[in-house]
Amino acid sequence: MSAPRAAPPPEPDVTDAQRALVASVAEAAERPTLPPAARERYACAQALVLDQGRAWTPVPLGADLEPHRGVPGGCYTFAARLADAVPGLVYVEGYACPQSGAGWAIPHAWVGRLADGAALDPTWSAPGTAYYGVPLTAPFRRSAPRAPGTAALLVEMLPRDVRRHGLPPGAVAR
């Protein structure tokens, strides 16, 4: 198993909330819930998200996207529906900080615009303070196995194949 990637170096335009979120995810990656099995590339979802993900800039959901707004607790489903419905948006899964939780790394899904790194959250009433996640392609998202009882692909229960080998080619949207 390779060591999880350390928290990315700070960038000049990164906010304090984004720094706190990445630090929280990195801290969790250093202490996975389950010990890694031999030859596993990632011990936990946090390590994968730090390695394959990126920071996203919180942007309010525009009036044109309001008809796609979901409910809190349904982020994986509503983010997938919105990504499918609107060209130019991708499903992103990772960790976010809500307005009320400075620095808390909450497993979450939203949609992103690759062109400008905008995070558009269809389930929180106000954008969170920070987002860090992996943009996933629609073909991967539609075919990837999910843990029983969740619509999440990565952050609730990292699939064994992904723990061993990482994401397959074509899984990360570019």
CB 32 within 8 A of CB 43: yes
More confident of the two residues 158 and 58: 58
The answer as to whether 9 is a domain residue is no
Q: How far apart are the C-alpha atoms of 102 and 100, rounded to whole Å?
A: 6
The answer as to whether 2 is a domain residue is no
The total number of structural domains that make up the chain = 1
* pLDDT tens sequence across 81-108: 999 999 999 999 999 999 866 667 899 9
The answer as to whether 10 is a domain residue is no
The answer as to whether 20 is a domain residue is yes
The mean pLDDT of the chain is 89
The answer as to whether 90 is a domain residue is yes
How buried is residue 80: exposed, middle or buried, by Cβ count under 10 Å (0-12/13-18/19+)?
buried
The answer as to whether 35 is a domain residue is yes
Q: Is the pLDDT reported for residue 5 higher than 70?
A: no
The answer as to whether 11 is a domain residue is no
* Domain range for 132: 16-165
CB-based contacts of 49, cutoff 8 Å, min separation 6: 25, 93, 94, 95, 132, 133, 134, 154, 155
* pLDDT tens sequence across 102-156: 667 899 999 999 999 999 999 999 999 999 999 999 999 999 988 888 899 999 8
CA torsion angle for 129, 132, 137, 140 (degrees, to 10)? -120
The answer as to whether 155 is a domain residue is yes
- What pLDDT band is residue 160 in, cutting at 50, 70 and 90? confident
